[in-house]
Amino acid sequence: MIGGNESCTAGPMPVSYLTCLTYILGEWTGIEHIEDYLSYAVYLSWVLLPLAIVFLLPGVIVILLYTSILLLHIYKRKNELKEAYSNDFWDGGRQMLATLWDGHGRIWHGYELHGSQNIPEGPGLIVFYHGATPADYIYFMARLLIQKKRCCHAVADHFVFRLPGFKILLEAHGVMHGPKEECVSALRKGGLLAIAPGGVREALFSDEMYTIIWGNRKGFAQVAIDAKVPIIPMFTQNVREGVRTLGGIKILRSLYEHIRLPVVPLYGGFPVKLRTFVGEPIPYEPNVTADELTEKTKAALQALIEKHQKLPGNIFRALMERFQRHQKDD
């Protein structure tokens, strides 16, 4: 250690800036051998860096969502005067965001959409498995808009409508709370509507076995019956390998059931291969009950999972699939 009356450049041997800084910190804090503490801190940071990365990567989705919100505000401000003369004020904004999200899906996940020919020209209810985040559905919605020029409304959990700044994003994409009457009305107008019956519970507490968690939910089936539309099952391969949750911790499940807020931490954001598969439609049958249609839909979705997902899910395998021969996009 340099003497207290010596400068960092004094003496026949030059002293490095790091040694000088260590000396200054030691003098300032009064801690002897502070270099040992600093070495330990550097080692600890190195060890914990991978853990920090896997918990911070999902934040990229949040950043993209708020970037989308900012772009919509800019779009709205620039087009306010055209609103009275436009058939669909948000059409340009949706196209802009579709380009943003489709680009992210292609680059980060090599995103592919298969089976889009199964989506009818008219109305239809798309029922999908809910991953830890809805990123795969956003990629699907963007690709559908770009390729088919069709919008797909969605039903979201009530907490989404309380997120700060999300109002304009939900309004632009026609996201709804999900009252049966509102859903039936949207379908009767000839549109597409998407819903994940498992919702937040399935997102947080399903696992690498891709367990469908619907409970007793069958309202979506009644919506399809009342609107007289087909149900189209949809599943995204490796969706749980991209982002995972700590849903296996029992106390977090109990807490969620008590407050009904997504308090379970997420980790991941890995650039795994994502492929969305749209299954064959389940046609409307006038004599089918909601219970029967729910079971048919669940079986169809389970069949998609078993056909396209290797179980249990594996993050490394999902990453390696990025380098395998790509299936042709629809």
CB 119 within 8 A of CB 192: yes
Nearest-CA neighbor of 195 among 154, 231, 226?
Answer: 154
DSSP 119: S
Query: What average pLDDT score do residues 306-320 get?
Result: 96
Residue 64 has pLDDT above 70, yes or no: yes
pLDDT at 83: 54
Q: Where is pLDDT greater, at 40 or 279? A: 279
Q: What is the pLDDT of residues 7-63, one digit of tens each?
A: 454 444 455 655 676 667 666 666 666 666 566 566 556 555 555 555 666 778 888
Residue 104 has pLDDT above 90, yes or no: yes
CB 240 within 8 A of CB 132: yes
Residues 6 or more apart whose CB falls under 8 angstroms from that of 102 comprise 111, 139, 142, 143, 146
Cα 219 to Cα 71: distance, rounded to the nearest angstrom: 34
Nearest-CA neighbor of 302 among 231, 209, 168, 174?
Answer: 209
Q: Name which of 11-20, 180-189, 202-211 the model is least confident about.
A: 11-20
The per-residue DSSP string of 199-240 comes to HHHHHHH--TT-----TT--HHHHHHHHHT--EEEEEEETHH
Given pLDDT bands bounded at 50, 70 and 90, which one contains residue 326?
low
- Mean pLDDT for the chain? 86
pLDDT at 13: 46
pLDDT at 60: 81
Q: What three-state secondary structure class fits 12?
A: coil
Cα 9 to Cα 128: distance, rounded to the nearest angstrom: 67
CB 139 within 8 A of CB 111: yes
Given pLDDT bands bounded at 50, 70 and 90, which one contains residue 85?
very low
Helices (H) and strands (E) in the chain, counts: 13, 8
pLDDT at 84: 45
Known catalytic residues are 130
Go through 144-171 and write b for each residue having 16 or more CB atoms within 10 A of its CB, e for each that does not: bbeebeebbbbbbbeebeeeeebebbbe
Cα 63 to Cα 59: distance, rounded to the nearest angstrom: 6
pLDDT at 3: 42
Cα 36 to Cα 44: distance, rounded to the nearest angstrom: 12
Which domains are present in the chain? Answer: 47-321 (3.40.1130)
The model's pTM: 0.81
Query: What angle is formed at CA 112 by the lines to CA 110 and CA 115, rounded to 5 degrees?
Result: 170
